[in-house]
Structure 1
Amino acid sequence: MNFYKKLSPFYNLALFYFIISFLLRIVLFFHPITQSSFTIIQSLKIFGLGIISDFFVFVIASVFLWLYLIFISNSKYNKPSGYIILSFFVLLFLYIASGKSILDEYGGALPRIVLIFIGIKTTLFALLLFLPKHRDKIRFWLFAFVIFLYVLLILQNGLSEYFFWNEFGVKYNFIAVNYLIYTNEVIGNIMESYPVVPIFSALFLVTGIFTYFILKKSRAYINDIPTFSEKLKISALYIGLFLISLIAIPTLATTENSKNVFVNELQANGLYKFYLAFENNKLDYFKFYKTIPNEKAFAILKQQFPNISGENTSRVIESDTAESHKNVVLITIESYSAEFMKQYGNKENITPFLDSLSQKSLQFTNLYAAGNRTVRGLEAVTLCLPPTAGESVVKREDNKNKFSTGAVFKQKGYNVKFMYGGDAFFDNMQDFYSGNGYQIIDKSSFSPEEITFSNVWGVCDEDMYNKAIKVMNAEAKENKPFFNHIMTVSNHRPFTYPNNKIDIPGDIKSRDGGVKYTDYSLKKFFAMASKQPWFNNTVFVIVADHCASSAGKTQLPLDKYRIPAFIYRPGVNPEKCTKLMSQIDLMPTVFGLLHFDYHSKFFGQDVLKPHYKPRAFIATYQDLGLIKDNVLTILSPKQQVRQFHLTMNKKEDIAHDYQIYYDEKPLKTERTDLVNETISFYQTASDMLKQKKYQM
């Protein structure tokens, strides 16, 4: 019986969690959005298997409670162990506070958060060490705080699941994961949509009440701290249940196989669904977005591609000129907004080289990024298809053997490589590019002497370009053309780079410094490349992966997707293309300049052809947009469609072709033709990926 009481914090919190989960299922069961009736068997499945799943999920979620409880003891405060442990905490605190810890490489709020945590831990340990008479009282309040946190999280999760169901009629999915990514937008939406102060006031009040009762029934644990042997028994029991839970949870998930979607959703555990959303990165277009019959969608698409037939984008691209097998170097620049460049209004002179190079190139002045993350930019220039709902294809499980720009080059006899100064395992780049026939050159390919500077993201851009020159010199000797895709890293937080390179020190960690160093590195690369025998026979394609920021006042702010892009061909006169276009059009346009004949599945098009119809795609993980005819059409989950009329918000001293700011005003009368066209693009792209029609 005494050992049973030692488990009281676990079973009291578990009982509370089961009650909240049971009540939540009842509420969702009878919710108006749950438009279904259930048989007795289905009801038993929902509540029976549901509560079993909840048990195993709670076991996994209580790992932090277990770690906290097993380290409660008095012996660690004895001399000299107590002073040794305190000294360790103090040294760790000073190390992080120095500003030179490994955490500072990541930038952002992480070092501050860890510093606060270690500071609190050090202070509490010192109080328990030096105030033995008050140790029991301090420990009690710490124990109460931990119980309070668990109760709060259980109630908060219940509320969140309710509101999510109220919004979407399902348990957590990728949209919920997305909410963690776009915190500014989500918090703003919550603040405007719900009475936050009353809700959270009530939440804290209820949490306090339940904490009082759970604490009353669980304090036996700290009143009589378990012995070492009792802690071993508790740990053995917990670890055993933990291991069983790892098997039981996914096994129970396989029983969510009813033809009635509501049965599956109500039976499921929300926290495990959230985990699966992280793992799967999927948002089913056909389940959450407005659709039209597939035949109609592809018929509308045929207006863009007259020579396609059936439900696919397969077509033959032919040129009336002999093919040119020049080398191609594609450089995607990290987080590079159009507004950084002088032509688009920047007056800080942070891109002097690219400002100059753009004037010698075929410049695309009206090009939009497909998304707001690196993987979206890589997907756009590699697969040349619209950004489908959910995670980028780059990070999906089914990401190999796709029809890609690299595949077209390989068919033409090119060596094909992807070069990245960091670890290509990041963002699944290694898996994606190697699975699509690219050879990978990343940080692991560098010898120690080839690295002069690196941070958490990888080697600096100068080191990457030095390596690229070596690789291309070796390739040139093989008497084969090469296509090399280089992804930069330096223009990324924490914006550290070698000092004494530009007039903004790398130690300052400023965005302007990151941009200017990126520009400086490109200048050095072109200076080196221009001395190589392959230079004059090479086409250089420069484009951003996405803008530096995606936050704005509107759902899809156009200025946060406008990126610079140009093609530099040594010895060729500069040109300017002012047509509205998408990031996915860039490489098909390059193929057009090289006069390639090839069989294409690309949604991207050669914008220099007379039949091209200007449009651009911009998207987040869930909002899918099409810009056309001065209208922005946005498809969102729950089959929502919004349209906005775009009016240029002109800035002084900026030429018309480089104006990037637009006012977005809701359209009074729906442009049904544009709605259907937007649906046709995104629906057909989703269908082709789902049906594996975009394979080689």
Structure 2
Amino acid sequence: MARAIFLVYHSAKTDTLSFLETLKVFGYGFRMDISFAAYLSVLPFLLFLMEVAFRKAILLKVIRIYTYVLIPLVLLLTTMDLELYAAWGFRLDTTPLQYLNTPAEMIASAGAAPVGLLTIQYLIFAALAIWAFRRLSHTWESSPHHRQKLLLELGVSLFLVALLILPIRGGWQQIPLNQSDVYFSQNMFANHAGVNVPWNVMQSLLRKSYNTKNPYEYLETKQAEALVQEIYTPKSDSVPSLLNVKRPNVLFIILESYTAKLIGAYGGPSEVTPNLNALAKEGILFSNIYASGDRSEKGMVALLSGYPVQTTTSIIKTPKKTERLPQLAADLKKEGYFTSYYYGGELAFANIKSFLINGGYDKLVDKSDFPSESYNSKWGAHDHILLDRVQQDLKTMKSPFLMTVFTLSSHEPYEVPMPAKFKGQDEETQFKNAFHYTDWALGRFFEEAKKQDWWRNTVVVLVADHGHLFPGRDANDAPSKFKIPLMMVGGALAVKDTVISSIGSQTDIVPTLLQQMGLPTHHYAWSKNLLDAKTTPFAFYVFNDGFGMVTPDGALTFDNVSKKPIQRDSTVTDKQVEQGKAYMQTSFDDFLKK
């Protein structure tokens, strides 16, 4: 009912939806409705169980009080949301808590609200809800108990309590329900309309996203900003051209957990990745690139939006913030590119789906598009199955295109559908075998790709989402854990067997590519061109409440809790330490402002 009222209240936006899209708003949102209803039911169900066991009427009175508190609270949230959405453009979360000390600002956000109409609506629905509850509670409170049915009643009550876990997490799937599960459309209003407001507020509270105080205030704001600005200037007027096609197709392949330590072309063992080693000779190898974070969803934002990673949270978990990020897909779509994203797992993981939809991808392919027999036990379709599908679809894909592909088989539990190359059952050997399998799948893919017409007009970007502690079981902050491969190959390249040794980060890749295509990059404020000889070579990354910064002077890692360096090369200057702190502070400030 609240969703229907929301659509009527915002009728001008609702008119932009087709009848089918409107139905989907209700269909996709229903899982979130059921999830929140199940959360609210946990306490009453436990009290019902206790009442069956102890026959204490006071327990039913507690349920009555609990419900009388929740009815006005939930209705208040849904009523407030109607007007605040018009002012803010996103569904109600804990943002109003930011204004508790300045309530005038929040009232100003809804200054033109029809307060009288909203109040009448609130009172009518509160009265209806209380009336309905009184009818229901009268039924159970007047039902006689039979001692001979005690065990049966206990069993049923216990079963119902345990069963709540299913609707709470939104079903049997591996990833619990999140905002991405209601995102289905290129029309952001349709996605927003599917969100259950009280559920959204609850999740926002759990994430503490209402906290707008920057915990990393090391320097005066102007001093911190100046130090960061210094490392992003100056820039050259021109950079070397690497492409022989002005508007090439772009195949952007993100490799799960692909650490540079296991790749022969980066000095690792040659037998683990023979195909990537050979491929490196056919294009451009960037030898000093670092991941921005240590999680897939964090790497996604750095890679596709050129945006820095946060420490104990991630911007991708808050769709209203990712709506404000630039994205490679959105930029190329403006140039007439067809954009698609392929992943063998669940796109709902960590709100990745909402991030991709915000980026304007035309086509999303995930686990549900592959047969179940192609899955490993945990994540989804094996890499060779994914790449076979990619190969098949590329044959009919219109040019120019951007296709983003994300592998998964090198993620634990490291299951591979082929005989193990390396003997051993320890975790590090299993990881190496999974790593080798993905390389085999890539080799198979590229062998066929080079025979296709699209290849000669395509640039392929191969890069990892993050590094890995194996081999060697690196410390959580170690620079070697964050060092990842970056290669560019394909028929659209004008150079081969080239190594770029400048230190850089995942955040630098998209602007480097766009500038090669003659497209603007000013909106990627946290990026530099890896081919620009005048830029300051550096890489910044974060781990759990700490950061690392690598420059030609050396590597620094810093703990944000103790506010002391964890590791500092003897050649690292005091200025580099201050610049690392400044980058941590200003990037988190920017995150809070999104």
Is 1:304 matched with 2:220?
A: no
Deviation by residue 1:380-419 (Cα, 9 ceiling, x = unmatched): 1111122234322211232114212222222332222222
Is the CA contact (8 Å cut-off) linking 2:556 and 2:569 kept in structure 1? no
- 2:114 aligned residue: none
Per-residue CA deviations over 1:224-267 (Å, capped at 9, x if unaligned) read x63xxx27x5664454455456668999998897659xxxxxxx
Matched-pair contact (CA < 8 Å) for 2:409–2:416? yes
Equivalent in the alignment of 1:372: 294
1:512 pairs, out of 428, 432, 447, with 432
Report Cα offsets for 1:265-303 as digits up to 9, x if no partner.
xxxxxxxx997564345775x531124344333333332
After superposition, residues 333-372 of structure 1 pair within 5 angstroms as 333-344=255-266, 346-347=268-269, 349-372=271-294
Q: 1:279 aligns with which of 190, 204, 207?
A: 207
CA distance in 2, matches of 1:461, 1:419: 11
TM-score (norm 1): 0.54
Check whether the contact 1:499–1:507 (CA below 8 A) recurs between aligned residues: no
Residue 362 of structure 2 aligns with which residue? 439
Specify the SS of the correspondent of 1:408. helix
Unpaired segments ≥5 residues, structure 2: 1-39, 78-93, 103-200
Output the CA distance in 2 between the equivalents of 1:418 and 1:236. Answer: 51
Measured after TM superposition, the shift of residue 672 of structure 1 is 4.2
| Separation in structure 1 between the aligned mates of residue 237 and residue 245 of structure 2, nearest angstrom | 12
Q: Residue 354 and residue 348 in structure 1: after superposition, are their counterparts in 2 closer, same or farther (change >3 A)? A: closer
Partner of 2:408 in structure 1?
489
Q: Distance in 1 between matches of 2:593 and 2:263?
A: 41
Superimposed CA distance per residue, residues 317-337 of structure 1 (whole angstroms, 9 cap, x where no aligned partner): 877979711111111111121
Q: Are the structure 2 counterparts of residues 497 and 389 from structure 1 closer, same or farther at C-alpha, using a change threshold of 3 Å? A: closer
The whole-number CA distance in structure 2 between the counterparts of 1:246 and 1:543 is 49
Residues 541-690 of structure 1 aligned to structure 2 (within 5 Å): 541-549=461-469, 556-570=477-491, 572-634=495-557, 636-637=559-560, 640-642=563-565, 644-646=567-569, 671-690=573-592
Please state whether the residue corresponding to 1:564 is helix, strand or coil.
Answer: strand
Question: Which residue, 494, 498, 513 being the options, matches 2:417?
Answer: 498
**1:78-133 Cα shifts (integer Å, max 9, x gaps):** xxxxxxxxxxxxxxxxxxxxxxxxxxxxxxxxxxxxxxxxxxxxxxxxxxxxxxxx
Equivalent in the alignment of 1:533: 453
Shift of residue 544, structure 1, vs aligned partner: 1.0
Shift of 1:506: 13
Residue-pair matches, total: 431
Within the alignment, does 1:461 sit opposite 2:360 as a pair? no
Q: Is the 8 A contact 1:60 1:242 kept in 2?
A: no
Distance 2:209 2:400 in 1: 37
Q: What do residues 309-365 of structure 1 show as CA deviations (whole Å, max 9, x unaligned)?
A: xxxxxxx98779797111111111111212222345544822221122123231112
Q: State the Cα distance separating 1:594 from its structure 2 match.
A: 3.5
Q: Please report how far the alpha carbon of residue 529 of structure 1 lies from its aligned counterpart in structure 2 after TM superposition.
A: 1.3
2:462 is the alignment partner of 1:522: no
- The residue type equivalent to 1:436 in the other structure is G
Distance change (3 Å), C-alpha of 1:505 and 1:244: farther
Q: Name 1:295's counterpart in structure 2.
A: 222
User: For 1:470 and 1:399, how far apart are their aligned partners in 2?
Assistant: 31
Tell me if the contact between 2:218 and 2:581 (Cα under 8 Å) persists in the aligned partners.
yes
**In 2, Cα distance between the equivalents of 1:247 and 1:504?**
61
> Alpha-carbon deviation of 1:543?
1.0
Establish whether residue 387 from structure 1 lines up as the match of residue 329 from structure 2: no
Structure 1 contact 420–487 (Cα < 8 Å) conserved: yes
The amino acid that maps onto 1:458 is G
- 2:332 is paired with a residue whose SS is helix
Query: Is the CA contact 1:372–1:549 (under 8 Å) kept in the aligned structure 2?
Result: no
**Cα displacement (A) at 1:598:** 4.6
Q: Give the conservation status (yes or no) of the 8 Å contact 1:369–1:618.
A: yes
Q: Determine helix, strand or coil for the equivalent of 1:627.
A: strand
Paired letter, 1:681: Y
Taking the aligned partners of 1:247 and 1:529, their CA distance within structure 2 comes to: 59
Measure how far apart 1:520 and its partner are: 1.3
Partner amino acid, structure 1, of 2:514: F
SS of aligned partner of 1:567: strand
Letter aligned with residue 292 of structure 1: L
Q: Is 562-571 or 506-515 further displaced after alignment?
A: 506-515
Residue of structure 2 in register with 1:329 after alignment: 251
Q: How does 1:225-264 map to 2 (within 5 A)?
A: 226=54, 230=55, 233=57, 236-237=60-61, 239-240=63-64, 243=67, 259=101
State whether residues 468 and 482 of structure 2, in contact with CA within 8 Å, keep that contact through their aligned partners in structure 1.
no
Does structure 2 conserve the Cα–Cα contact (< 8 Å) formed by 1:408 and 1:598? no
Separation of aligned partners in 2, 1:290 and 1:641: 14
The CA distance in 2 between the partners of 1:482 and 1:689, in whole Å, is 30
Give deviations 1:199-242, integer Å, cap 9, x for gaps.
xxxxxxxxxxxxxxxxxxxxxxxxxx63xxx27x5664454455
Secondary structure class of the residue paired with 2:484: coil
Return the offset for 1:600.
3.4
Contact 1:289 1:636 in 2 (8 A): no
Which residue in the other structure is 1:41 paired with?
A: none
Cα RMSD for the two superposed structures: 4.0
Describe the SS at the equivalent of 2:469: coil
Letter in 1 for 2:404: H
Identity of paired residues, percent?
23
Q: Answer whether contact 1:491 1:514 (CA < 8 A) is retained.
A: yes
Contact 1:495 1:514 in 2 (8 A): yes
- Shift in Å, 1:674: 2.2
Which residue, out of 331, 336, 346, partners 1:423? 346
